[in-house]
Homo-oligomer: A and B are copies of this chain.
Amino acid sequence: VSALETNLGPGREFDRIRLMAARWRGRARGLGDDCAFIEAGGERLAVSTDLSIEGVHFRREWLTPGEIGYRAVAAALSDLAAVAAEPLAVLLSFGIPEWLDDAGLEELAAGAGDAAGDAGAVIAGGDTSRSPQLICDACVVGRAAAPVLRRGARPGDVLVVSGTLGASAAALEGLLAGAQPPAALRARFARPPSRHALARFLAAHGARAMIDISDGLAADLGHLLAAGETGASLDVAALPVHPAAAEWAAARGEEPWRLAARSGEEYELIAALPPSVADDRLAAAPVALARIGVVEAEVGLRAHLAGAPVSLPPGFDHFGT
């Protein structure tokens, strides 16, 4: 087991980890990164676990059992992408409620299997139990030959983010309001993207620090910077906003970049790349990358719009904290 350690940023979940770590002292190793690392036979494996609970992370009226399974496993596998590990295996713990019949369980399993397959991993085991509500805990194992951690960003590094942002939060807002969101938004919420090929591309292009977006760009970029004891300047006009999410925001009087900055469970990647990385190299990425800012020595995240400072929206803490 490696002794990699990462500084924890602010936030309720990190407060809890700090509280627990204080009790564990010498019994804990490498907490606070997207994965745990375990050395075996000269190789390094990355392991992560991710808990999805009905009523906390999703409502059953929103998603089919297949989508619930896909989403839970994709979310867990995203932690492997965040450290540029190659997915190998998924272990599934399912808490199965009364309302999920055998056909539903089959769909749940099929969705989980599809997410594993899309990432090149196999289902290797798990646990099932009855439960008052649907619970999916996915434990994922990957090969991390040269992991990229949250820490490692250096002043001058270029910050990039993949894909487009905002659709997940917009879909969630629609669902919470009891409306069926536009199909493009709903699809993004129900079937998060797989960024494993992109993660390998970024690692191959010298990524110094990486994180996936689960709490929202503003929050997760904050975690990356805290881990590296650095700060950054962020150009919010450069944030790539999902077109349907931009429409969604505009219709509700919100600046689209704000929706993009606060939208959680996006599972896009944020990376810090050496300043020397050329635009034409980034253009060859398997998923579009946007340059959104620059790492700076001064701690803190300084967002600006057309040269004027702006304040960032707070992080995402699932729905209805």
Contact = CB atoms under 8 A, between A and B. Distances in A.
Interface in A50-77: 50-51, 53, 55-57
A38 B96 contact: no
Interface stretch (A40-48, A149-157, A231-239): A40-48
A-side interface size class: 35 or more
B123 A29 contact: yes
Nearest to A28: B123
A126 B140 CA distance: 11
In the assembly, how many copies of this chain are there?
2
Contacts of A91: 36, 47-49, 139
Contact of A122 (B29, B50, B123): B29
Given A124-B36, A128-B17, A135 B27 contact: no
Contacts of A141: 38, 45, 47
Contacts of A131: 53, 56
Contacts of A127: 48-51
Interface in A274-293: none
A19 B109 contact: yes
B122 A27 contact: yes
Contacts of A117: 27
B109 A23 contact: yes
Interface string A102-117: 1001100110010011
